[in-house]
């Protein structure tokens, strides 16, 4: 390969469909492919269109190296599943794996080889719009779901015609932006970087993820795209990652406005030397690469390493043997089976926040009013919904309710628009509520104000939506509230008075049917919160796994002054991490340990401690519970979080049935990383509380001694 051809393999250009500033590069992509100076194209899909561009690269370029086609397939290609934050609420990795496997089959048949997912940015910042794409505030939950997504996308063989390459993003610490503003600064210690933000990426690498995407943010002053410490020393050297690192959209170019690079040539040199292997959209590596090589600012061996990594993924995808996709086998849209999977996933992702006996609704109800800005909305698929959202709208809650109770009179009134400003139809909604046996109030936020670039300083219900809830409540008739949103919200006092509140998130293509499945009891709401719901924006961050302070708040002494608290709001979130109700009731035994003590040495050598807890359905119907295990390390050389999730299991039990859930804990669970920049993992002697329950506020515990 010539130098130019090598540099070309490190270039990715955009097809017709922009995901950031700079527009599209369709003609440029065709010309570069013909000249053999292009490695990848993003945003192209469709078997016929992708094959046409691939033929240019394979049949007209000198070396015939195939292109790899990438696309943001975040929670569905044609078939839109619930947003990733909702999938995290399922506490069921099978939900994420199913989404990924359905998406992979649809995408590969349409010529897509590679998705820019899963996103595993741990975040306790609900103002940040991209929390919708994440697994929430806990590293362990994010890690489990990331591994499931990688398995679902990639399967056991990337050559398979129903699998695609995954991309672990955004590497790293993108979920900690100051002020919750997208693309903003992240200042983080080495210990927090390794203990909080890196674990999901390590798990993804262990799951053989094909690629990794660098993040937009700085990491303690060094932009992620120019961070040799994270991209090379940790990812490639310590972890042995042998895939390639792709920049985010114009991420190499953005080293200049960051103030890290002086110009395009400087940006290219810094990014490649730090460990970026492919440049998305901006073209500094290709434009300046030959000059940088001649000047010794990029080493020839490093260039060869980057090219090898890109070609290795193409070989693993089987593109050199079979670069095209059979056009006759293209999947043109959602199948009935895929829709059913999306419906099941959406229902399993919903969280019952409050229920004073109002749910489930009876199917013999005579009349139902569906009111609110999202009651008859077919735009419930969420941010980054993929090409399917443009062609196939979501099932509305109104249609879902009508299908669930075909013999009931089901009416609808808007009440207020999605922005919460136009209350002209509020009287009609009140009249509908008065006339109905029960009212379903569907409020929340539009997908348009969720996701990338959509940070909000006020994360309450937009505008005057709370007035609609108050007006329906004032009728004195039964009602329930359904929330559709892409982030945790700050809910008003109405949330403490509503007969029932169901968090449905942005549920995807089968939204309305899934909401109705839960409302009418066909599905027990077994979802649990993957991120805390703050009482007010001023509390943020209010994550459950915060570090301990020397003056902690004590709920037994709420009037104590000189402690870590706010004067004007109750301590803690409105709804904590792991919270969720069911239509039945459960009891859990105290945790039982296989042994009361273990040596630190045996743990380091692979020893484990087994934890068992028995869960029983004490209610009158089948239901789901999520058993959650947390660790609390009371004394350590580095201050530890008040507790850390280290295991969970979602179980379905018939009325009166019980089962014993077992967890195995080892060094990875009990140990932690220090602030040593070269990476030092320790398992220290002392006691550790092992806490088991049904939310992050669980109290049942046993204590293990590590000697």
Residue 246: how many other CB atoms lie within 10 Å: 28
Instruction: Find out whether the peptide bond into 118 is cis, omega within 30 degrees of 0.
Output: yes
Which position has the token pair 């806490």?
A: 691
* Token pair listed for 266: 């400087």
- CA angle, corner 614, sides to 609 and 615, nearest 5? 135
pLDDT at 3 over 90: yes
Read off the pLDDT of residues 478-497 as tens digits, 9 standing for 90 and up.
999 999 999 999 999 999 99
500 forms bridges with which residues in the sheet?
355
Whole-angstrom distance, CA of residue 125 vs CA of residue 543: 9
541: cis peptide before it, omega within 30°? yes
Beta bridge partners of 380: none
Structure tokens, 425: 């139809």
Assign 412 to helix, strand or coil. Answer: strand
Span 622-626, average pLDDT: 98
Residues 448-473 have a mean pLDDT of 97
In the chain the first and final C-alpha atoms are separated, in Å, by: 58
Q: What is the CB neighbour count within 10 angstroms for residue 31?
A: 14
Question: Does the pLDDT value for residue 426 go beyond 90?
Answer: yes
pLDDT over threshold 70, residue 22 = no
Please answer whether residues 383 and 129 qualify as being in contact, where contact means their C-beta atoms are separated by less than 8 angstroms.
yes
Residue 18: the pLDDT is 54
- CA dihedral angle for residue 189, residue 669, residue 120, residue 695, rounded to 10 degrees: -110
> Running DSSP on this structure, what letter comes out for residue 543?
-
Q: Of how many residues is the chain composed? A: 707
Give 237's contacts (C-beta < 8 A, 6+ positions apart).
Answer: none
Give dist(CA 174, CA 218) in Å, integer. 8
Q: For position 21, what pLDDT does the model report?
A: 60
User: Contact, 101 vs 152, CB < 8 A?
Assistant: yes
Distance (Å, whole) CA 11 – CA 397: 44
What pLDDT, on the 0 to 100 scale, is given for residue 550?
A: 96
The beta-carbon contacts of 376-381 under 8 Å, at least 24 apart in sequence, are 376/412, 376/414, 377/418, 377/442, 377/484, 379/446, 379/447, 380/447, 380/484, 380/506, 380/507, 380/508, 380/511, 380/512, 381/76, 381/80, 381/447, 381/506, 381/508, 381/509, 381/511
Q: How confident is the model at residue 17 (pLDDT cuts 50, 70, 90)?
A: low
Question: How far is residue 244's CA from residue 290's CA, in Å, rounded to a whole number?
Answer: 21
**Tokens of residue 704, six digits:** 């293990």
Residue 19: which pLDDT band, with cuts at 50, 70 and 90? low
Least confident of 6-20, 37-51, 181-195, 671-685: 6-20
Residues 76 and 506: beta-carbon distance below 8 Å: no
pLDDT in tens, 551-596: 999 999 988 999 999 999 999 999 999 999 999 999 999 999 999 9
The predicted-structure confidence for 307-323, as pLDDT tens digits, reads as follows 999 999 999 999 999 99
Active-site amino acid positions: 248
Q: pLDDT tens digits, residue range 628-640? A: 999 999 999 999 9
pLDDT number for residue 233: 98
Residue 677 confidence class, pLDDT cut points 50, 70, 90: very high
Contact 479, 433 (CB under 8 A): yes
Which pLDDT value is given to residue 571?
Answer: 94
Span 27-54, pLDDT tens digits: 999 999 999 999 999 999 999 999 999 9
Q: What SS3 class is residue 623?
A: strand
Q: Contact, 204 vs 122, CB < 8 A?
A: no
The separation between CA 507 and the C-alpha centre of its own chain, rounded to angstroms, equals 13
Question: Residue 25: pLDDT band by 50, 70, 90 thresholds?
Answer: confident
| Per-residue confidence band for 20, with pLDDT thresholds at 50, 70 and 90 | low
pLDDT (tens digit per residue) in 52-72: 999 999 999 999 999 999 999
Distance CA 163, CA 5 (A): 28
- φ and ψ of 458, to 5 deg: -120, 115
Structure tokens at 212: 């990794």
Average pLDDT, the chain: 97
**Paired tokens of 102:** 């359905």
CA distance 362 to 555: 39
C-alpha–C-alpha distance, residues 629 and 280, integer Å: 41
Give the pLDDT score at 16. Answer: 82
DSSP reduced 3-state for 3: helix
For the stretch 146-178, pLDDT in tens is 999 999 999 999 999 999 999 999 999 999 999
pLDDT of residue 37: 98
What pTM was estimated for this model as a whole? 0.98
Give how far Cα 219 sits from Cα of 173, 188, 190, 214, 660, Å: 7, 7, 10, 11, 43
Cα separation, 629 vs 609, in Å, equals 13
> Two tokens at 593?
């340990």
Give the tens place of pLDDT for each residue, 501-520.
999 999 999 999 999 999 99
Residues 6+ apart with CB under 8 A from 448: 454
């Amino acid at each position: 390969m010539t130098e130019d051809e090598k540099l070309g393999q490190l270039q990715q250009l955009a097809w017709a469909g922009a995901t950031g500033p700079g527009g599209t590069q369709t003609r440029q992509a065709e010309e570069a492919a013909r000249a053999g100076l292009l490695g990848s194209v993003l945003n192209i899909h469709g078997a016929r269109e992708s094959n046409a561009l691939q033929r240019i690269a394979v049949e007209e370029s000198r070396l015939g190296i195939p292109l790899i086609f990438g696309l943001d397939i975040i929670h569905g290609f044609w078939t839109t599943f619930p947003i990733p934050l909702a999938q995290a609420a399922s506490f069921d990795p099978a939900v994420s794996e199913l989404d990924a496997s359905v998406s992979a089959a649809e995408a590969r048949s349409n010529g897509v080889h590679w998705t820019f997912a899963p996103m595993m940015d741990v975040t306790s910042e609900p103002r940040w719009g991209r929390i919708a794409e994440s697994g929430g505030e806990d590293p362990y939950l994010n890690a489990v779901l990331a591994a499931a997504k990688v398995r679902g996308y990639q399967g056991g063989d990337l050559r398979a015609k129903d699998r695609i390459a995954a991309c672990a993003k955004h590497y790293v610490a993108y979920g900690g932006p100051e002020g919750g503003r997208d693309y903003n600064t992240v200042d983080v210690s080495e210990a927090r970087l390794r203990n909080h933000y890196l674990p999901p990426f390590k798990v993804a690498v262990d799951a053989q993820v094909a690629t990794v995407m660098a993040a937009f943010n700085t990491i303690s002053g060094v932009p992620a795209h120019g961070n040799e410490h994270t991209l090379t020393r940790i990812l490639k050297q310590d972890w042995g990652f042998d895939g390639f690192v792709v920049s985010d959209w114009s991420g190499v170019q953005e080293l200049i406005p960051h103030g890290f690079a002086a110009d395009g040539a400087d940006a290219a040199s810094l990014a490649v030397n730090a460990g970026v292997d492919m440049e998305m959209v901006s073209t500094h590596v290709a434009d300046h690469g030959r000059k940088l090589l001649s000047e010794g600012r990029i080493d020839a061996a490093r260039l060869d390493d980057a090219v090898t990594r890109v070609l290795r993924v193409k070989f693993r995808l089987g593109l050199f043997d079979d670069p095209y996709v059979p056009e006759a086998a293209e999947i043109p849209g959602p199948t009935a089976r895929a829709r059913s999977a999306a419906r099941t996933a959406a229902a399993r992702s919903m969280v019952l926040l409050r229920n004073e006996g109002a749910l489930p609704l009876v199917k013999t109800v005579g009349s139902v009013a569906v009111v609110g800005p999202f009651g008859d909305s077919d735009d419930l698929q969420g941010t980054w919904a993929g090409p399917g959202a443009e062609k196939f709208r979501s099932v509305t809650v109104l249609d879902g309710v009508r299908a669930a109770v075909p013999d009931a009179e089901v009416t609808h009134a808007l009440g207020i628009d999605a922005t919460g400003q136009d209350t002209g139809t509020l009287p009609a909604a009140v009249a509908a509520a008065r006339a109905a046996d029960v009212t379903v109030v569907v409020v929340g936020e539009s997908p348009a104000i969720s996701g990338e670039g959509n940070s909000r300083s006020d994360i309450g219900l937009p505008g005057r939506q709370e007035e609609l809830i108050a007006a329906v409540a004032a009728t004195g008739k039964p009602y329930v509230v359904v929330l559709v949103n892409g982030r945790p919200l700050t809910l008003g006092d109405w949330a403490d008075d509503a007969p029932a509140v169901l968090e449905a998130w942005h549920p995807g293509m089968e939204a309305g049917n899934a909401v109705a499945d839960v409302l009418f009891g066909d599905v027990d709401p077994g979802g649990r919160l993957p991120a805390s719901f703050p009482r007010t924006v001023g509390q943020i961050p209010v994550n459950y796994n915060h570090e301990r302070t020397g003056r902690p708040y004590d709920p037994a002494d709420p009037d104590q002054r000189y402690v870590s608290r706010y004067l004007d709001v109750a301590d803690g979130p409105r709804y904590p991490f792991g919270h969720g109700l069911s239509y039945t009731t459960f009891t859990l035994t105290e945790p039982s340990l296989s042994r009361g003590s273990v040596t630190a040495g045996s743990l380091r050598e692979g020893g484990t401690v087994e934890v068992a807890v028995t869960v029983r359905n004490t209610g009158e119907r089948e239901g789901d519970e999520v058993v959650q295990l947390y660790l609390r390390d009371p004394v350590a050389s580095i201050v530890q979080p008040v507790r850390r999730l280290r295991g969970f299991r979602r179980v379905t039990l018939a009325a009166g049935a019980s089962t014993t859930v077992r967890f195995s804990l080892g060094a990875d669970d009990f140990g932690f990383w220090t602030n040593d920049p070269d990476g030092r993992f320790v398992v220290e002697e002392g006691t550790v509380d092992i806490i088991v329950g049904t939310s992050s506020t669980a109290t049942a515990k046993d204590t293990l001694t590590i000697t």
